Amino acid sequence: MLTQKNLRSLLLAAATALSLPAMAQQNYVSDSFTIKKIYNEALSSTESYENLRYLTKKIGARLSGSPQAAAAVEWSRQVMENMNLDTVYLQEVMVPYWVRGDKEVGRVYNSKLMGTIDMNIAALGGTVGTGKKGMSAEVIEVQNFEELEKLGRKKVKGKIVFFNRPFDNTHVQTMAAYSGAVDQRGGGPAAAAKLGAVGVLVRSMTNDIQEVPHTGSTRYEEGVQQIPAAAISTKHAEQLSSLLKDDPNLKFYMRMTSETLPDVLSYNVIGELRGTEKPDEIIVVGGHLDSWDIGEGAHDDGTGCMQSIEVLRLFNELGIKPKRTVRAVLFMNEENGLRGGHKYAEVAKAKGEKHIAAIESDAGGFTPRGFGIDGTDAQYSKALTWKALLAPYGLHDLTRGGGGADIGPLKGQGTVALIGFRPDSQRYFDYHHTEIDTFEQVNRREMQLGAASMATLAYLISQYGL
């Protein structure tokens, strides 16, 4: 039945097509129909959303090496096998196994108040513990590494260094604010340890003022003392900073029983539809199956994984036969090691595989805005020719620069274009790496639109290359 709304869409497609050369006109109308079918199916089916529900509620947090990560591997393999894809397989990868241990304790001893104040902290991924008795020391606050260096060993030795640089909220794109602050989490503990610090607190990586702490990985350096490191919630970071101004000699108590166990065998989970004309040219769609251990890993990155699986389901359900191979990869160990991404690239290089594009969804399941493209000028220019097809679905942002952590190791293997799916970023860091990153925070339609967006771009690349 031709509704008035469908008629308007057809007329718009026809009007746009008339401005194009003859062959392009034919392709534009055909592609418009296919893309509309992709969105119709994605928005009508709840399968990807229910898959996310199972992953987050039945399996839960999936830190690399954990039993839950192993369960997620087996479950997602079965999901893709039940889709009748051309190929489904597991790719072995050894991953680190860090465990958080008991619930962390953070507490200020304020001599002027003659009492203690509890503060919310979360051990940073990979940190050593404090021992079961915990540890306490005076706190010294810094904004950046330059301030730390100027203080020198004499003032830092024996203290807990408190990195308290907030997000720059003048950035419209919150990913830019994150990039401008996250170095203190990744490199802060090692830098402080070089000057004799006994512990580190890092302001949580969020643009909001919250009580929940945001975990994330940190990196130690060989030959440098490993010291306990924790994120402190932004609300309590503000409070601690205020208390230090009043009492520079206050002490902070922290207790964490974290430890790193021997590496564990895990897997990337891979499923694909073989191309009908150029099967050796591969398009990856992917996200990371692991998550931090304190929430459910819904936005980070359950949505990305379920959207990637949904891309293949949409192709199958609609009878779309890609000319080039479309491969979904659920990477393991993005959060605290990136070993899945490196292993995938290593195997691809050893096999001589030709990847022409890789699309990663790892920015949450929010409303789609577009894609960031890290590729050649020719690849970017070709993607821009599809703007008229993408714009009706809110995909207005096709910008230079993109990719993602897991697909990054593919860079340099031929002329593969690394593409980051970009949803609206304003709420992402409310949930990122926290206990509140749960299924309930994901909007079904936003997630469905994201899957359709990825499927649309994968379809166009499969048809025309890049």
Same domain, 297 and 430: yes
C-alpha neighbours within 13 Å on the C-beta side of residue 152: 2
Which residues are CB-contacts of 340 (< 8 A; sequence separation ≥ 6)? Answer: 93, 95, 266, 268, 288, 290, 331, 332, 333, 334, 406
Task: Using the 3D structure, point to which of 257, 277, 295 is the last residue of a domain.
Answer: 257
Same domain, 304 and 390: yes
What CATH number corresponds to the domain at position 149?
Answer: 3.50.30.30
Q: How far apart are CA 291 and CA 200, in angstroms?
A: 23
Q: How far apart are CA 323 and CA 310, in angstroms?
A: 18
Task: Using the 3D structure, point to which of 257, 281, 308 is the last residue of a domain.
Answer: 257
Say how far residue 170 (Cα) sits from the centre of its chain. 22
What CATH number corresponds to the domain at position 397?
Answer: 3.40.630.10
Average predicted confidence (pLDDT) for the chain: 94
Same domain, 46 and 142: no
Residue found by looking up tokens 């771009």 in the block: 457
Which residues are CB-contacts of 332 (< 8 A; sequence separation ≥ 6)? Answer: 64, 69, 73, 93, 95, 266, 267, 268, 269, 288, 289, 290, 339, 340
Cross-strand bridge partners of residue 125: 217
The pLDDT, as a whole number, for residue 114 is: 66
Q: The tokens of 187 are what?
A: 């490199």
The tally of domains found in the chain comes to: 2
Task: Using the 3D structure, point to which of 257, 281, 313 is the last residue of a domain.
Answer: 257
Q: Which of 42, 252, 93, 278 is nearest to 159 (CA)?
A: 252
Same domain, 410 and 350: yes
Domain carrying residue 327: 4-96+262-464
What is the full DSSP assignment across 85-124? -SEEEEEEEEEEEEE--SPPEEEEEETTTTEEEEE-EEEP
Active-site pick, 41, 47, 141, 334? 334
Cross-strand bridge partners of residue 322: none
Which residues are CB-contacts of 181 (< 8 A; sequence separation ≥ 6)? Answer: 165, 166, 167, 168, 203, 205
Same domain, 380 and 453: yes
pTM for this entry? 0.93
For residue 191, the SS3 value is: helix
The pLDDT, as a whole number, for residue 386 is: 97
Burial string for 97-136 (b: 16+ CB within 10 Å, else e) reads: bbebeeebbbbbbbeeeeeebebbbbbbbbbbbbeeebbb
Pseudo-torsion of CA 162, 165, 166, 170, nearest 10°? 180
The pLDDT, as a whole number, for residue 18 is: 45
Residue found by looking up tokens 């749960």 in the block: 438
Q: How far apart are CA 110 and CA 101, in angstroms?
A: 27
Q: Which of 455, 325, 443, 307 is nearest to 389 (CA)?
A: 455
pLDDT digits (tens, 9 = 90+) for 330-377: 999 999 999 999 999 999 999 999 999 999 999 999 999 999 999 999
Same domain, 289 and 212: no
Same domain, 271 and 349: yes
Same domain, 75 and 192: no
Same domain, 284 and 403: yes
**Do 252 and 108 touch, CB atoms closer than 8 A?**
yes
Same domain, 242 and 313: no
Per-residue pLDDT tens, the chain, 466 aa: give them. 445 545 454 444 444 544 445 545 568 899 999 999 999 999 999 999 999 999 999 999 999 999 999 999 999 999 999 999 999 999 999 999 999 999 999 999 876 766 899 999 999 999 999 999 999 999 999 999 999 999 999 999 999 999 999 999 999 999 999 999 999 999 999 999 999 999 999 999 999 999 999 999 999 999 999 999 999 999 999 999 999 999 999 999 999 999 999 999 999 999 999 999 999 999 999 999 999 999 999 999 999 999 999 999 999 999 999 999 999 999 999 999 999 999 999 999 999 999 999 999 999 999 999 999 999 999 999 999 999 999 999 999 999 998 999 999 999 999 999 999 999 999 999 999 999 999 999 999 999 999 999 999 999 999 999 9
Same domain, 234 and 277: no
Residue found by looking up tokens 């993408």 in the block: 390
The pLDDT, as a whole number, for residue 11 is: 47
Q: How many residues does the chain have?
A: 466
Note if 334 is an active site residue: yes
Which residues are CB-contacts of 449 (< 8 A; sequence separation ≥ 6)? Answer: 39, 42, 43, 367, 368, 393, 394
Same domain, 250 and 149: yes
